[in-house]
Chain A
Amino acid sequence: MANTNNDQKKGAVLVVGAGVAGMQASLDLASSGYLVHLLDKSPTIGGIMSQLDKTFPTNDCAMCIISPKLVEVGRHLNIDIHPNTEVASIEGEAGNFAVTVQTQPRYIDLAACTACGQCRQVCPATAVNEFNQALDLREATYMRYPQAIPRGFTIDREVCIGCGLCEKVCLAEAIHYDDQARQKVLEVGSVILAPGNEVFDPSRFDTYNYLNFPNVVTSLEFERILSASGPYRGHLMRPYDREEPHKIAWLQCVGSRNINACDNSYCSAVCCMYAIKEAVIAKEHAHADLDTAIFYMDMRTYGKEFEQYYNRAKEHGVRFIRSRVHSIEPAGECDLRLSYTNEKGEQKEEVFDMVVLSVGFEVGQGTIELAERLGVELNEHHFAVTDGFMPVATSRPGIYVCGTLQAPKDIPQSVMEASGAAAGTSAMLSEMRWTETRTRELPPERDVSEEPPRIGVFVCNCGINIGGIVDVPAVREYARTLPNVVHVEDNLFTCSQDTQVRMAEVIKEKGINRMVVAACTPLTHEALFRETLLEAGINKYLFDMANIRNQDSWVHMNDKQKATDKAKDLVRMSVARAGLLKELHEKKVEIKQSGLVIGGGVAGMNAALNLARQGFQAVLVEKDKELGGLARRVSHTIENLDVQTYLDRLITQVKSDDNVTVLTEAEVVGFKGYKGNFTTTVQHGPDKTEQTVEHGVAIVATGAHEYQPKEFMYGESDRVMTQLELDKLLHERTNGSDPATWSNVVMIQCVGSRNEENPNCSRICCQSAVKHALQLKELNPEMNIYILYRDMRMYGLLEDYYTEARKKGIIFSRFELDNPPVVNRNGEGVEVTFHDHVLQRPVKVPVDAVVLSAATLANETDRLATHLKVPRNAYGFFIEAHAKLRPVDFSSEGIYLCGTAHSPKLISESITQALAAASRAGTFLAGKTLSVGGAVAHVDKTHCAACLVCVMSCPYGVPRINEENVSEINEALCQGCGVCVSECPAKTIQLSHYEDDQVLENVHALLEGVM
């Protein structure tokens, strides 16, 4: 290895693992000024998310939402993807690592391969298709999935017979049978580990007969069965006879929660939600009535709006059966018999056509070895050891972790953690920003303003998403007949990278100056196609999308003819509009290199501190006199970490950081400007001193509070308290109210949660109860503690504490919403009556204390939300831009959220999210300039009557009557809503890209078809 200057930090980062977490970390870092090496041992990026059919709780198609990210990663100038590659060894230290990586031979040169697929067509050898979970076969020469990035084939030499056919047909001469493994050294400042998990292999034990009965499948296999690109093309079928099942059972906790000897003890955190999702989607896919039953122990729908999803599933008729099923027996030729004991203790038997095993996560052997090579400590379950107060840092400085290697978790949590890990890295390497990055040279834009429209129409099959319903060739041929259309084609996946490259070539070749893509939604794909236009030297506004998927094939799947007719209508509308589109030119404005963080709790402080460490200014606004928020009332975490010591240290760090300004007793009273250039008015201090803050980004971290119960005699007896009140007593241990003296304690879960008024699960109260119960047991092992619950939601690694609590004799007793425990006065004291579901009768317990696990509710943010114009749900929690892939962004750019303002969460989760928000904010700030203009309003001053109607109607106060006595609209300030345009009595303002003639031509083209 070459001698390097060890004092010099590197501006490059290595990300190991290219699933959704690795991709997000890479995108954040690459966009904020670091060169990223993204490694994956597989030939393609995308990870396990690419194998999922839909994602909860939005039921978005996983491939549809991940594929723009795949393409973005694939196209990013500052991300080098290293497929088929693993880390061999590492030297150096934080800031300057030398990582030796080993790339396995692919036998096909990616630089030469055009992904034409000829090689696969001629390949005579077949292998089990692991992407489809072995439910079908693939060729030895293969691509993992159609949208795969990098675009290129691979030869599986384990099954390749070396016949040489592919080499003969490959015109690109990309096949190299003699390809060798290669090593190289990457010099990076930091490493982010995102290798993901494997799913549990249920063949390890025989009770489920997974290997013997084809109709017993794992949940991941079922995802592939449901998937439009899966082995059965999205048709619901069971493997044995390819018949549509009428009755499917899901068995939860397979491989998790120690049901069987070789299971893992932790909860895998995602299986309850995916099982519900799979049941709901399967019902949608089924042609006849489909009976679905989920056998579970606790339904752990603890995430944001998950509980409502669960409730809706019940309404859809999904059956939920609280029972462990220990074995699957055959019934007839291929059906399956489940025997189980129901809650009443009755022995039941039911026959199903198909059984899905909800398999959990586990860390793969390869990852365990990787951690060893990297010197990263793993815990007893092989998850990375992290500090609860820095949940993205591993035991080795400079190496961060995100995703399921940290602990089992779902996609949004992984995405947050990925951004959090990026924030850690970015703070560490901030002085090296933009030192190793590259810049893109786009071809000059061709001026087409004088040319007649030459429209190219690209119709997407979206696999079978569109093509399975809409007659795509017919739509394509119809498009050919429309005015100004000079080119038509259809593609399997218009968004795939090879199609994109080819489209740019076709555009140049045919002199296309307007592009119409008939595919999915502009919400996810417009940016991608616009970039394709830019690559072809055409202004990106000369583009229109016909949404023939979300607004057509997906919603009219019962009538193919009408769906096809509608697709033609939509294409005709787009082509008509495209003909009138104009080139628009954006200009650059500076981004203020600072952020405003609203809320000085753990989340807000971490966000502010990380921004500061990334080299940006941060102003932290706290409504109370003191920083700290809700965490001030928590003495220890369940892992027994001292929250108050941490908080003191954090407050000191925040206050002493030169880049952070803290304003207490502060309130935002005014907010104006636009992304990159906000001006906020804050009143702070005892005198309400008014101060104006100019900032480029804003982070909302307004927190939450504990619900003050109205039920269970709360407020009527000092023996009834909330968990936070108990925390205080446990911490203070004062005479007279020392919990150590208690002999009987009852905790009641879900107080103010999961009911009609507040259907949300508050996520953290199960662990609060277990934490405090364990602390009480520690004080007095003789104490009788009852936890009355509805579902114990000890997700992920928390499960171990639940196990410990049961071992220590804490009694868990379940109740139903309609039969809650009753708290009564009993002389001086109180007593609790509850129904014991084992004894099947009411039990009365006199108690020293009743502890209510009260809900976590959003803080009051009415005025703030109005100022910032950011949305909240019905329960006051802020709504992120996308529940899955943009968990800390608001849909208005430049504003982010974190902590319990988003939804209830643990301190460690708040910290992760705060880092994530700071990463997203930093990514935006690091760009330094911003393009403005484009689709904004402009005034034709010749007809302006200076009537002031625009001035009076603009919600942002942008238009003004200028020195020439006509209206003037600043394009950097205009938000492009078009209100003034539709109010102008002289019809002299137009909204670019949505000009009246463009809109009306759209309408005209639609109605032309029906007249």
Chain B
Amino acid sequence: MNVPENWEQVLHIIDYAQSLDELKRIHETLIPFLKQQTISVEETERIYSFLNRAHRGMMKRALELAENRVIQENAGKRPDKISWMIMGSGARCEQTVWTDQDNGIVYSCENHERDDCERFVERFSEIGVEYFRKIGYPLCPGNVMATNPRWRQSIEEWKITLLEYSSGTTFNSMKFLFIAIDMAPIYGNVELVHHLREWLILNVKTRKSILFQLKDAILSHEVPINLFGKVFTERWGEYSGQFDIKTGVFSQFVNAIKFLAASSGYQETSTLSRMERLFKDGKLTAPMYEELKEAFTFLLFLRVKNSLAEKGDSHSLDQHIFLNRLSADSLKRLKQAMKITKRLQSSIYKRGDGD
């Protein structure tokens, strides 16, 4: 497949893709296409905006093909309302070129049709996840996928499950709850997911015990930089000497902002929009907002730049970098972003429970 010339062309060919092979080829052309683009900090927001529209377009097209196949197989009955949702970086519009799957399904059907509906939804999840894999989204190692009954439930079941998570009896409860806060619909009846997210965030906002536990969960991931600005790299293993952008700073930043937004009851899903809302509502000062935005944009830039590096298939999801290969300015900005993230965590720590 020829490398597209511009973003509009990318989105156009996705909309008209007729097969999984075609979608896979489009996915693969994203790397050479991005390499032709100007990748800079200034262009980062625009790149992510298009890139995530492309991802959502490909997934949506794959799900249309999946649903057609379920209907052809005559597997059960399509629920009255069904929505395929994504979580993680996809939901936050922060996907780079290669990301693994994080998805789930929420549906609603009449009681008398329940068994038929469930058969349809289960088959849809199997085919959907498989189609995603075929077009270049590896399976989620943590099994956050619609094929896992934990992430595929009716709206009523979802509410019961999320309430169970909210009781926070295990560490995983908070982890799952935190993943669920990001849910964003990409296919089907979007209002189902919106309703569920509104209900969840209201629940989180009004229960101080949940906020307390969420706070505890996010603060347990320290930012690996010391008082003197030395960044801790991996000491052993195949990534020895390297720094993982995702687990070293990106996740901590995203989760801290997610916590602040959820505790304020915001429905926004992207980190940038969450920060903007926090600023508009006076929960972040202007200098703090500018500083956070600049730091986060730089982290997004670093991630997308790193995703274009040649690493081989088995390392396509890897976000490790050698710090000594960064320019002096980039290293300085990374350290600055890490220090800001640390400050962010510290300010969350100092908050009263659920403030």
A and B interact physically: no
